Structure 1
Amino acid sequence: MQTHTKRRMIAFLFAGGGGAAAYFFSSSWEPLILIVSIVGCTLFLILSFLTPSLANRLDRMEGREFEEWLVELFEKAGYRVELTPASRDFGADLLIEDAQGYRIAIQAKRYGSVVGLEAVQQVAAAVPFYGMDEGWVVTNSTYTEAAYRLAEPNQVRLIDRNELLEFAHEIGFR
């Protein structure tokens, strides 16, 4: 058998095709190929189950854990981040600042359902209280139509699940 064909079959073997790969090799290779194939497939399955997707991890977080995760995310993105107290936060869970000094109040909502206009009201009140330039609501979920309607005239940016996950992946955050 040619060398390049053997290399392709070995690659196929690690992808889980041990039985088919064994067919192309002489009988002296079959037991080894079968064992390596089984071990490789088993490791792949174990790692798949032990490493849940980012979306799944977000959905299992508690509220404060989600806020702390956002601190790490925005720090990795280059922002200076302050986490406000867990209670009496005056409508902002995080206060972030970019390199140019632009300051943003963030209301974090780790929800199992849609986020309503209360979150928009909270962060809209936090912007002048903390002397920020803008307010964001960040969630692992989506927003109601009422939240979108209130956010626009109050210059509040709504970051939903898809945008959050896309941002995390863009900056290489896991």
Structure 2
Amino acid sequence: MLAVIWVAKLLWRRYQQKQSKILAANWNFSDIDQMDGLAFEKFCGVLLKNLGCSQIRLTPTVGDYGIDVLAVTKSGRNIGLQCKRYRNQVGIRAIQEAYSGKAFYRLEEVYVVTNSHFTVAARKMALRNDVQLVDREKLLKWLKAAQRNAAKEIGK
């Protein structure tokens, strides 16, 4: 009986992975711009997975210490993302939150990811505090890379 349950879980996990790859292959900015904050965080997690990261998890929606998504890169680096799905520019507060989350979670790299852009002050603060910025253009590059990876996986 335990073997049947184990096989069922394994098959379900594979099905979910394939579904996330299919979903990733079809994303576009009009979908992203319509997401709420939590949906954008989940999107970023799936995006990281399709970029080759592992051990991806969302932090609690309240008391997240400035990090929304935690992951491990292909090279084994612990990273965190502060996700900001905004209509306007992202300011320094997001950089401050990511910086404090880096220490709290003992991360090697932190990113602030947005579907928008950053203010000049935010860019200056990020540079000074080693916080990586992913604006709309860089997010598009990540998205295209994830879609290429997803398409390869779906074709297997």
Q: What is the TM-score normalised by the length of structure 1?
A: 0.67
**Residue 100 of structure 2 corresponds to which residue in structure 1?**
125
How far residue 154 of structure 1 moved from its aligned partner, in angstroms, is 0.6
Which among 48, 64, 86 is matched to residue 74 of structure 1?
48
State the structure with bigger RCO (CA 8 A, min sep 6), 1 or 2.
2
Structure 1 segments, 4+ long, off by >2 Å, are: none
The number of residue pairs the alignment matches comes to: 123
How far residue 99 of structure 1 moved from its aligned partner, in angstroms, is 2.6
Deviations 1:51-101 (A, max 9, x none): x97111111000000000111110111101111011110000011111322
Residue segments in structure 2 that go unaligned for 5+ positions in a row: 1-25, 152-156
Structure whose alpha-carbon radius of gyration is higher: 1
**Residue 112 of structure 1 corresponds to which residue in structure 2?**
87
Whole-angstrom CA distance in 2 between matches of 1:159 and 1:113: 15
For residue 61 of structure 2, give the secondary structure of its aligned residue in structure 1: coil
CA RMSD of aligned residues (A): 1.6
Tell whether the 8 Å contact from 2:51 to 2:145 is kept in structure 1 after alignment. Answer: no
Tell whether the 8 Å contact from 2:95 to 2:122 is kept in structure 1 after alignment. Answer: yes
Q: What is the TM-score normalised by the length of structure 2?
A: 0.75
- Give the direction of change, closer, same or farther, for the CA distance of 1:54–1:102 in structure 2 (3 Å limit): same
The answer to whether structure 1 residue 89 and structure 2 residue 64 are counterparts is: yes
**Residue 20 of structure 1 corresponds to which residue in structure 2?**
none
**Residue 63 of structure 1 corresponds to which residue in structure 2?**
37
Percent same amino acid at aligned positions?
A: 35
The answer to whether structure 1 residue 157 and structure 2 residue 139 are counterparts is: no
For residue 57 of structure 2, give the secondary structure of its aligned residue in structure 1: strand
Residue segments in structure 1 that go unaligned for 5+ positions in a row: 1-51
For residue 171 of structure 1, give the secondary structure of its aligned residue in structure 2: helix
Whole-angstrom CA distance in 2 between matches of 1:140 and 1:92: 17
